[in-house]
Amino acid sequence: MKRTLFLTAYLACLLVITGCGEDPGYNKFAPSPSGSIRYVNAVTDAPSLVVEFGTQSIGNTPFGQFSSINSVIPGLERNTQISYVKDNQLEVIATLSISVPQDQLKTLILTGTMANLSVVEVLEDLSAPTETDTTTTLRIANAAGALNDAVSLTIFDSTASETPIAELVIEPGAISDTLTVESTSSLSIQATNAGGDILWTSNDFLAATGVRPIIILVDTFGPSTSQSPLQGLYATVGGTFDFPNETFTASVRILNAVPDQTAIDLYQRSAQSSTPGIVSVEADVAASSGSYTVSVQQLAIPETYQTSSGFDATTTVIGTGTLIMTNGLTTTNVVIDEDNSSVDGITTAINTADNGDAT
């Protein structure tokens, strides 16, 4: 009797264990759930900022730049700290609770000032466009802490129509709703203040199907009072890109390494020509920052002289004497003697003479 009861209990346990192993919902090869997070430092007076998502550091990023995209455990509220290095230690300036949804990318826009920092959370659309889709979406954030004012935006396709695609106003530290536009290579955005003064213009840029950029307006720093007060950051999942009109690409921004000081911006004056083979430029000490257009009506053409009749061969002897060549105020004397009196000899004498330009 005891043996029968023991055998029955053993078989029951075996069935239970076997049943657990055959659960169709279990897949040991399935990928772990994951979410993604990144941030941009748009805090006007801040040095490099460190962001920690729970116990995970997601970057140490200077002003105007994005951190890399970091994978994190999704669906959990995490204590997130924003800090900077002071006396070789992290000085916390803000703490907030953040959750990242599964299979989603959350971008944190750090804006405001060190004394009054704010964070804009943006969930980015990672879904793939359909084969027939010809549109894309974009969102625009006003992260200009020094400006600290509402920005009016006019969005239009410069080649399609003079009628704006959209007109909207974005308060400081805010981001627009999702805007859907037709894919185009000539989308343009103009930002103005309440008085109608132009703060920033993107010029034409590409808005491709499915790219879905976030455009972040941040403060501009520079030595010139004529410099635009804003600059734009064009961010996608694939990276961050410059707009066509950003003219301060030659500047160098250096972070002050003294731990108890904020950043100091240093700029070196330089100039760059879009077509250096036609127009070369230099920046002197008093040069003002800006973009300038030079119209070239006609390129200089060197003067060419030739004899009225040809020669039978390059060894034909022409004669001796002194060949005088004048170019403006420059005169060059080329001596032709018996050793170089042929066509080839005269050509070599001209090309090897110290004449500067003649060949």
- Altogether, the residues listed in the chain come to a count of 359
CATH architecture group of domain 35-241: Sandwich (2.60)
The per-residue pLDDT string of the chain (359 residues; one tens digit each, 9 = 90 and over) reads 555 555 565 555 555 555 454 555 555 555 567 889 999 999 988 889 999 999 899 989 998 889 999 988 888 899 999 999 988 899 999 999 999 998 889 999 999 989 899 999 999 888 888 888 889 899 999 999 888 899 999 998 888 777 889 999 999 999 999 999 988 888 999 999 988 999 998 888 888 888 889 999 998 865 555 567 888 999 888 888 777 666 544 445 566 676 776 655 555 666 666 555 556 677 776 777 777 777 777 666 555 666 666 777 888 888 888 888 777 677 888 888 888 888 888 888 887 776 555 55
Q: Distance between CA 19 and CA 122 in Å, rounded?
A: 44
Q: Distance between CA 39 and CA 56 in Å, rounded?
A: 14
In degrees rounded to 5, what are phi and psi of residue 92? -75, 130
Q: Are 32 and 106 in contact (CB under 8 A)?
A: no
Q: Which residue has the tokens 């520079």?
A: 222
The whole-model pTM stands at: 0.61
Domain limits, the chain: 35-241, 308-359
